[in-house]
A and B are shown apart, each in its own frame.
Chain A
């Protein structure tokens, strides 16, 4: 690290350099930002990564096709189920099998519950970053209820590890449908409180409106995806572009906004939560009966070739790229993580902003650091 700190410290008159992180509450993890400042205005930002690099890609090369799925829960730990889903789907693509209808629907419901809980944590921490402490308690009230459902059905709250190639590991808990419906009812009522607390808050609006403008061309060129890109009017929802699991069975809107600023990114996520509730409501009473798992061999071997699966996580497009040489573990595996690309646009966004705005920009991009470093 010494090399990083000492290089190009040539600053102009009146400029200085500060380091935000790696241990800083506003970076939500171990991200290190080197910031060149003139007064309070940001001239340049340089992210330094790798503080939580665990080489999950290298590890996966020595794990079997059943086991590598669970390593990905530790990437984007707020959307562990969706990471698992991407891997399971990629392996299924290689095996040329499809999960039974029951498994596909349950996967979709769990994925949308994950999206809800992830967006709630984002909403809580955005409020916290911008000086509002109360939202944290409101968001965690519903989030806990969702995590309890996960606990009951999957056996774990955050790292669910509920999927195997071919379907689900076990059938859903008998209480699953009843409790999900109760939680949805509660969440729908509480959206009003969310809006009153933060969305309509004047201080919050002043902190986020016209801050961190990301135009559509930059979003596309930097490979930005998810709500961050959709707030710049860039259509990129994989659930619509390349439907997987049960998304072709449900009706929902892809939320787009033309505002391009931090407030639009906030609004897109708020509206997406309502869409997630909408998707779950369409599916929860229509879970098909039947098997929850397709039969697979004890040792899974994929045929020689490349398999690529894209899914929509709460933060954008996750790609799992498996290169197989016919053995029982992947020859090479690549996770195209949404946060890695979303972070690459941060220096562009922050240029010319005030240092206080950097916090607003970072929290509305919604970075999860373990997903960047992998």
Chain B
């Protein structure tokens, strides 16, 4: 599908979604509550077949968290970027997609470790790089390390 066709298709699924088309890929912005049905649909629908999640990460936007999913279809070769906004910054959480794409299991653990975003129903949500008793989440913009010396 071309970007225009993808956009029409996605609007029929989620009418309230917004899009950004200025970048290299088509980006769709949704609220994190809608993530699971949309992702299932994108993977299973014959028309989209997004079977390869090639990047999953998170951005700290200060007033919210943005979980970014880069999706590719091996069959149609189209790419879509899904940006899901989590507005609760006190206790950020969203549904896991690790049962849809297994690669998400490790990537979500990384996001949990460094951003503190909890993934509901994740099979094994532990810190992946840092020690279990590490305090805070280093990739957050407001993180400060008590042992760090300012130069």
Chain A residues within CB distance 8 Å of chain B: 1-4, 49-50, 53, 55, 57-58, 93, 218, 220-223, 234-235, 241, 305-308, 310, 317, 319, 321, 323, 331-332, 334, 336, 340-341, 343-344, 373
Contact = CB atoms under 8 A, between A and B. Distances in A.
Contact of B106 (A58, A308, A344): A344
Nearest to A319: B55
Interface of B: 22-25, 27, 51-55, 57, 59-60, 68, 70, 74, 77, 81, 101-103, 105-107, 110, 114, 127-133, 138-139
Contacts of B107: 340-341
A222 B22 CA distance: 30
Given A220-B52, A344-B103, 11 more contacts: A1-B132, A50-B127, A50-B130, A223-B53, A305-B22, A308-B25, A323-B59, A334-B55, A336-B54, A336-B57, A343-B106
A221 B23 contact: no
A319 B52 CA distance: 14
A49 B109 CA distance: 11
* Centre residue among B53, B74, B102, B130 by max chain A CB count within 10 A: B102
A308 B105 CA distance: 22
Contacts of B129: 49-50, 53, 373
Given A307-B23, A317-B54, A319-B54, A221 B132 contact: no
Contacts, number: 85
B55 A50 contact: no
A305 B81 CA distance: 13
A93 B25 CA distance: 13
A220 B49 CA distance: 12
A338 B80 CA distance: 20
Contacts of A332: 57, 59-60, 139
Contact of B23 (A50, A241, A306, A373): A306
